[in-house]
Amino acid sequence: MEVNNKFTMNVLAKSANEGFARACISAFAAQLDPTLEEVNDIKTAVSEAVTNCIVHAYKEKIGKIYITGELCDKNTIRIKIRDTGCGIENVEKAMEPLYTTVGGERAGLGFAVMQSFMDTVKVRSAVGKGTSIVMTKRINRRINING
Amino acid sequence: MSVEIKTSGDTVTAYLSGELDHHSAKEMREAVDNAVELNMPSRLVLDFKGVSFMDSSGIGLVMGRYRTLLKTGAQLYITGASPQIYKVMKLAGIERLAKLEER
């Protein structure tokens, strides 16, 4: 894919940064003139991925979350969210709806939301090294009624 | 993020507002649970009209309250869900646990 624009940032894995990450990605995605539904889909998927880093990857410490956004082929946004936390032992299992390894009130729907709201979701993980999630979504270009 | 609780007869309504994510869910959960414990309602209404964003942390909040209400037989109602919130709720199948109404 041809990359037309890109940003990278990293944030501490603190829950206060969930909203910050959503705000950043929606501002970046605005360059593709998405619909409100498309922006909301992207924000929701990013929120799930960032929350996973905080809740699962860095259980014992506050590590860093690395976020990259790319605008590709004129109408696609590609988002990479990476941590250097504990990693996932069984990615396939972790992606099953309602599966969660933490107690409390986590619904176990993070990956299901990402897969439902984005076009593609790829997860790579190594135990003790971290996890990387790459998601893409194609934005449907709207016809400019003003010409 | 804030929660306003109103009680009318045997109904407790929690008016949620702000963004509902992992960061804010705990505070919302505690406010709703305190109201339920105090009033023992037969209906709990979670009003999402003021919620501008919700991820699956909101699903955890709803499922947790559903489990709490099972003990007393009270019913759960969800009102005022925006299209984004409604989409997340439907993905989770919340309509099987509560009366779900879109904004």
B56 to A15: CB separation less than 8 angstroms, yes or no? no
Is residue B89 scored above 50 in pLDDT? yes
Residue type, A21: A
Average per-residue pLDDT for chain B:
95
B91 close to A112: Cβ distance less than 8 angstroms: yes
- CA-atom Rg of chain A in angstroms: 15
Q: Write out the H or E segment, with its range, that includes residue B19.
A: strand B11-20
DSSP-derived pairing of the beta strands B11-20 and A3-12: unpaired
B22 to A55: CB separation less than 8 angstroms, yes or no? yes
Is the complex ipTM more than 0.95?
Answer: no
CATH number at residue A58: 3.30.565.10
**B45 DSSP β-pair partners:** B13, B77
User: According to the model, what pLDDT value does residue A147 have?
Assistant: 44
Measured between alpha carbons, how far is A144 from B18 in angstroms, rounded to an integer? 33
CATH number at residue B80: 3.30.750.24
Percent of chain B with pLDDT over 70: 100
pLDDT in tens, B7-55: 999 999 999 999 999 999 999 999 999 999 999 999 999 999 999 999 9
**Number of domains observed in the structure of chain A:** 1
Measured between alpha carbons, how far is A41 from A120 in angstroms, rounded to an integer? 13
Tokens of B65: 């309250």
User: According to the model, what pLDDT value does residue B28 have?
Assistant: 94
Interface of B to A at Cβ within 8 Å reads: 19, 21-23, 25, 29, 53, 55-57, 59-61, 63-64, 83-84, 87-88, 91-92
Residue with tokens 């990479």: A80
Q: Is A138 a catalytic residue?
A: no
**Number of domains observed in the structure of chain B:** 1
In a domain? residue A25: yes
Nearest CB neighbour to B21, from listed A19, A104, A106: A19
Interface test with A, best of B21, B27, B63 (most A CBs within 10 A): B21
Measured between alpha carbons, how far is B58 from B60 in angstroms, rounded to an integer? 5
User: According to the model, what pLDDT value does residue A144 have?
Assistant: 55
A95 close to A111: Cβ distance less than 8 angstroms: yes
Structural domain including A133 reads 3-138
B42 close to B66: Cβ distance less than 8 angstroms: no
Q: Is A48 a catalytic residue?
A: yes
Q: Nearest C-alpha of chain B: how many angstroms from A71?
A: 23
Q: Is A89 a catalytic residue?
A: no
Measured between alpha carbons, how far is A134 from A119 in angstroms, rounded to an integer? 11
User: According to the model, what pLDDT value does residue A107 have?
Assistant: 73
Length of chain A: 147
B31 close to B5: Cβ distance less than 8 angstroms: yes
In a domain? residue A143: no
User: According to the model, what pLDDT value does residue A4 have?
Assistant: 94
B22 to A51: CB separation less than 8 angstroms, yes or no? yes
Structural domain including B72 reads 2-102
Measured between alpha carbons, how far is A61 from B90 in angstroms, rounded to an integer? 34
In a domain? residue A145: no
Annotated active-site residue in A52, A70, A78, A82: A52
Q: For every one of its 147 residues, what pLDDT tens digit does chain A have, with 9 covering 90 and above? A: 899 999 999 999 999 999 999 999 999 999 999 999 999 999 999 999 999 999 999 988 999 999 999 999 989 999 999 999 999 988 888 888 777 776 667 778 899 999 999 999 999 999 999 999 999 999 987 665 554
User: According to the model, what pLDDT value does residue A111 have?
Assistant: 94
A107 to B53: CB separation less than 8 angstroms, yes or no? no
